[in-house]
């Protein structure tokens, strides 16, 4: 799969869900927006969204500050 332009092997993830990917990248599901194959994924669907090796994933991480 491709995450933000970088190829990542799905086999490296213990949990092959979207939430598993975010956890492996130390990203909080509360502070990220996700698009898979051109479709925006709702936060309520992160746990149930199974990843496939051909997925193209875009992650946008929100940072606080001012």
3-state secondary structure 15-63: CCEHHHHHHHCCCCHHHEEEEECCEEECHHHCCCCECCCCCEEEEEECC
What distance, in Å, lies between the first and last C-alpha atoms of the chain?
34
Q: Which domain holds residue 7?
A: 2-61
pTM (two decimals): 0.90
CATH number at residue 13: 3.10.20.30
Predicted confidence pLDDT, tens digits, the chain (66 residues): 999 999 999 999 999 999 999 999 999 999 999 999 999 999 999 999 999 999 999 999 887 766
The tokens for 48 are 């149930």
3: three-class secondary structure by DSSP: strand
User: Considering its fold, how many domains does the chain have in total?
Assistant: 1
Residue 66 lies in a domain: no
Please tell me the predicted confidence (pLDDT) of residue 61.
87
């Amino acid at each position: 799969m491709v995450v933000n332009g970088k190829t990542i092997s799905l086999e490296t993830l213990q949990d092959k869900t979207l939430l598993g990917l975010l956890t492996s990248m130390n990203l909080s599901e509360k502070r990220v927006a996700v698009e898979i194959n051109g479709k925006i994924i709702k936060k309520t669907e992160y746990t149930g969204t199974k990843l496939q090796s051909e997925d193209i994933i875009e992650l946008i991480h929100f940072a606080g500050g001012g």
